[in-house]
DNA sequence: TCGTGCCCATGACGTTTGTCATGAGCAGTG
DNA sequence: CACTGCTCATGACAAACGTCATGGGCACGA
């Protein structure tokens, strides 16, 4: 029997500890390192060279996908998987693009998670069916790169002038992009557009 | 030694299961019921009459504070506590007002949580110091009831006309409230105001 | 090479906002 | 009772925003 060396990264101590305890019950899995932040996860991975890195999506510092991206080049032998509470379609896409092998919501049981870790270690992929369906039904973003960029900058309610400055664009251009984005999304104004795009993971 | 009967409510199976496992290690704690939604938590509480209910803040259906409110009248003997990932000051205040005995971030360890459960069972309160500090520094909302209400309706980017209709107010009045709210919060416009108010738990 | 699509800009227009002054009705408090 | 603060309204003006037409530059595939 091969044993799988696992790295666990989650900023919530409660969950990380609990998870470690549960995975320890599976006798082919061994948690070799734990981390509470993105940076810590990277350091731990370098030090312990795990077979599989189980990364929380939302962590202080670098988020799970960023960590996965770094790991991909630094430790190509280490498979990465993402667990998350909030399954936005966009995150899934981002994760897959970063070479993540599994994307799992926290609604699965520990037993299932253990199974998925084995699946990933065996070189296969796993994507939660629910999340996959969402991602497919959400479809591809109709927004161009710049439209998405500008929309992103509009997210915190900043006035056009500020967006223009931060994007190094003229105010008129910003208004055009915002207008285009809103109409593509069928939104009444940019703020509603931001909400919609967020929901569908397009920003 | 008295044993404490605990109800666990969290929509994330992974966490709930893991938590149950960890709490089971403490031999004076016994998890008598688990729930994944607010409604389920209430039903379970009625059926099993736990000593302490550990409620996740964000759950589908009724959130943790709502459940606590219901429990307060239905099962006065049952102490309630909230655990959460995102510690917004407003939630803390709401929770305390609902008679919640403890408010804990998920960054604590399982051991600490067990200790807090005992503390609560003994009739004492516990509030995470960090969260308490935030709540205090955030202070009280400067917004009047109507201002907060209108701001809430503005949350999804609806135009003033729609807000006015939904609030049964004239458009001018809505603009006035929005303007007042934004200036009280030091925001550039209503959208930024919404964000600020949300951050501080004022909406 | 031509067309298409994205990028960026400008100018103009009407509409939506934010802001301010002003005032009426109605609690609650000193 | 006078005073204060919240609620709701109106009107008016300036600023911000959304929309449209138009045009140049650039990359890419047909």
**pLDDT tens figures, B10-34:** 988 888 888 888 888 899 999 999 9
Mean pLDDT score, B140-154: 89
Given a contact cutoff of 8 angstroms between Cβ atoms, the answer to whether B18 and B42 are in contact is no
| Total Cβ atoms within 10 A of residue B155 | 17
If we measure between CA atoms, which residue out of A78, A51, A57, A50 comes closest to residue A12? A57
Chain center to CA of B66? 8
Question: Which pLDDT tens digits describe chain A residue by residue (203 residues)?
Answer: 789 999 999 988 888 888 888 888 899 999 999 999 999 999 999 999 999 999 999 888 778 888 999 999 999 999 999 998 877 777 887 788 888 999 999 888 888 999 999 999 999 999 999 888 877 766 677 889 899 999 999 998 999 999 999 999 999 999 999 999 999 999 999 999 999 998 887 87
The last residue of one of the domains, among B113, B137, B161, is B137
Q: What pLDDT shows up at residue A133?
A: 80
User: b/e string for A160-186 if b means 16 or more Cβ within 10 A?
Assistant: bebbbeebebeeeebbebbebbbebbe
Closest to A29 in 3D by CA, of A99, A113, A105, A107: A113
Cβ of residue B160 lies below 7 Å from strand C: yes
Do A187 and A88 belong to one domain? no
Which residues in window 81-110 of B are less than 7 A from strand C by Cβ?
Answer: none
Domain that holds residue A119: 4-137
Chain B residues closer than 8 Å to A85 by CB? 12, 85
Q: Are residues B123 and B151 in the same domain?
A: no
Question: Three-class SS of residue B154?
Answer: coil
Do both B47 and B124 map to the same domain?
yes
Helix (H) or strand (E) holding B163: helix B160-167
Residue nearest to nucleotide C8 (CA to C1'): A173
Domain boundary among the residues A104, A137, A170 is at A137
A40 plus A58 within the same structural domain? yes
Chain B residues touching residue A199 (CB < 8 angstroms): none
What pLDDT sits at residue A139? 67
Domain count for chain B, please give it: 2
Q: Is the CB of residue A189 inside 7 Å of nucleic acid strand C?
A: yes
Mean pLDDT of B164-190: 93
CA–CA separation, B22 vs B113, rounded Å?
A: 10
Q: What is the pLDDT of residue A138?
A: 61
CATH number of the domain where residue A157 is located: 1.10.10.10
Contact flag, residue A179 CB and nucleic strand C, below 7 A: no
Residue B65: its pLDDT value, please?
A: 87
**Are B125 and B26 contained in the same domain?**
yes
Distance CA B130, CA A13 (A): 15
Element (H, E) at B80: strand B79-84
| Distance (Å, whole) CA B14 – CA B143 | 39
Helical packing angle, B190-199 and B145-153, nearest 10°: 110
Q: Read off φ and ψ for residue A173, nearest 5 degrees.
A: -60, -45
- Yes or no, beta carbons of B110 and A17 under 8 Å apart: yes
Chain B interface disruption, residue of A16, A18, A23, A106, most B CBs within 10 A: A18
Q: Mean of the per-residue pLDDT values for chain B?
A: 89
* 8 Å CB contact of A110 and B12: no
Instruction: Please report, rounded to whole angstroms, the spatial distance between the CA atom of protein residue B57 and the C1' atom of nucleotide D7.
Output: 34
Q: Element (H or E) spanning B5, and its range?
A: strand B4-9
What residues have CB less than 8 Å from A145, skipping those under 6 apart? none
Quick: pLDDT tens for B41-99. 999 999 999 999 999 998 887 788 889 999 999 999 999 999 988 777 778 877 888 88
Domain edge (last residue) among A93, A117, A137: A137
Judge if A87 and A182 occupy the same domain. no
My answer on whether B14 and B90 are in the same domain is yes
Q: Do A22 and B19 touch (CB under 8 A)?
A: no
Across the interface, whether the CB atoms of B110 and A14 are under 8 A apart is answered yes
pLDDT at residue B138, rounded to an integer: 62
- The 10 Å Cβ neighbour count of residue A67 is 30
CB environment A100-138: b (16+ within 10 A), e (fewer): bbbbbbbbbebebbbebbbbbbeeeebbbeebeebbeeb
- Select from B44, B53, B73 the least CA-distant residue to B121: B53
Q: What's the pLDDT score for residue B43?
A: 94
Interchain contact, A192 vs B156, CB within 8 Å: yes
User: For residues B137 and B140, what is the distance between their CA atoms, to the nearest angstrom?
Assistant: 9
Q: Does B24 touch chain A (CB under 8 A)?
A: no
A193 in the same domain as A120: no
State the nearest Cα–Cα gap between B98 and chain A, in angstroms.
24
Is residue B75 within 8 angstroms of chain A, CB to CB?
no
What are the DSSP calls for chain A, one per residue? -PPEEEEEE-S-HHHHHHHHHHHHTSTTEEEEEEESSHHHHHHHHHHH--SEEEEESS-SSS-HHHHHHHHHHH-TT-EEEEEESS--HHHHHHHHHTT-SEEEETTS-HHHHHHHHHHHHTT--EE-HHHHHHHHHH------HHHHHHHHHGGG---HHHHHHHHT--HHHHHHHHHHHHHHHT-SSHHHHHHHHHHTT--
Contact B41, B81 (CB under 8 A): no
Instruction: Tell whether B106 and B155 lie within a shared domain.
Output: no
Pair (B130, B154) in one structural domain: no
Structure tokens at A181: 């984005």
Beta carbon pairs, A and B, within 8 Å: 97
Q: How far is the CA of A159 from the C1' of D17 (A)?
A: 9
User: How far is residue A62 from each of residues A12, A46, A50, A74, A76, measured CA to CA in Å?
Assistant: 15, 16, 19, 16, 19
Place of tokens 């003994």: B122
Residue B189 gets which letter from DSSP?
S
């Amino acid at each position: 029997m091969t044993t799988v060396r696992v790295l666990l990264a989650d900023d919530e101590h409660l969950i990380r500890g609990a998870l470690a305890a549960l995975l320890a019950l599976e006798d082919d899995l061994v948690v070799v390192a734990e981390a509470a932040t993105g940076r810590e996860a990277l350091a731990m991975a370098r030090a312990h060279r795990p077979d599989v890195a189980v990364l929380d999506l939302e962590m202080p510092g670098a988020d799970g996908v960023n960590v996965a991206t770094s790991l991909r080049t630094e430790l190509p032998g280490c498979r990465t998987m993402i667990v998350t509470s909030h399954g936005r379609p966009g995150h899934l896409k981002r994760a897959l693009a970063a070479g993540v092998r599994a994307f799992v919501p926290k609604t699965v049981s520990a037993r299932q998670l253990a199974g998925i870790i084995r699946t990933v270690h065996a070189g296969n992929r796993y994507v939660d069916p629910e999340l996959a369906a969402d991602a497919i039904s959400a479809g591809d973003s109709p927004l161009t790169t710049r439209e998405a960029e500008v929309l992103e900058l509009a997210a915190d309610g900043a006035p056009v002038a500020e967006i223009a400055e931060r994007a190094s664009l003229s105010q008129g251009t910003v208004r055009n992009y915002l207008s285009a984005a809103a109409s593509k999304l069928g939104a009444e104004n940019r703020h509603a557009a931001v909400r919609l795009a967020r929901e569908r993971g397009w920003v």
